[in-house]
């Protein structure tokens, strides 16, 4: 799915450039609108690809989550969402 969105994004950018190059001499609002539509499709497709990539990284556990308590000192958080060392005699 990510590769499809990347291909759609790249193709949309190319189509926007092609529309501008082919119809540059005519000008007009329709050319700008058509190029703008292709550009918006490209941005949305590439943005969705980044979202899917981030979700895959979170699912695979490649993202390290850190929680910042009120003390300002970063605390490592396990995948379960429980801070490391929570519930031990040292932290109680």
Mind listing the pLDDT tens digit for each residue in 15-42?
888 888 888 777 778 888 888 888 898 8
Residue 60's pLDDT band (boundaries 50, 70, 90)? confident
Measured CA to CA, the distance from residue 38 to residue 16 in angstroms comes to 5
92: tokens are 């109680």
The pair of structure tokens assigned to 39 is: 């550009």
Which tokens go with 59? 């699912």
Tell me the pLDDT of the chain averaged across its residues.
Answer: 76
Q: What pLDDT score was predicted for residue 92?
A: 44
Share of the chain above pLDDT 70, in %: 68
Range in 11-15, 43-47, 84-88 the model is least confident about: 84-88
- Quick check: 65 pLDDT over 80? no
* H/E stretch holding 68: none
- As given in the structure block, the two tokens for residue 5 are 């969105």
Nearest to 39 by CA among 8, 84, 75, 78: 8
CB-based burial, 38-58: b 16+ in 10 Å, e otherwise: bbebbeebbebbeeeeeeeee
Is the model's pLDDT at 90 over the cut of 60?
no
């Amino acid at each position: 799915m990510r590769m499809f969105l990347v291909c759609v994004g790249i193709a949309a950018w190319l189509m926007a450039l092609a529309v501008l190059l082919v119809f540059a001499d005519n000008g007009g609002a329709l050319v700008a609108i058509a190029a703008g539509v292709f550009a918006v499709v490209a941005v949305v497709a590439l943005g969705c690809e980044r979202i899917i990539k981030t979700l895959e990284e979170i699912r695979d556990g490649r993202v390290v989550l850190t929680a910042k308590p009120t003390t300002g000192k970063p605390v490592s958080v396990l995948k379960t969402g429980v801070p490391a060392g929570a519930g031990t005699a040292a932290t109680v």
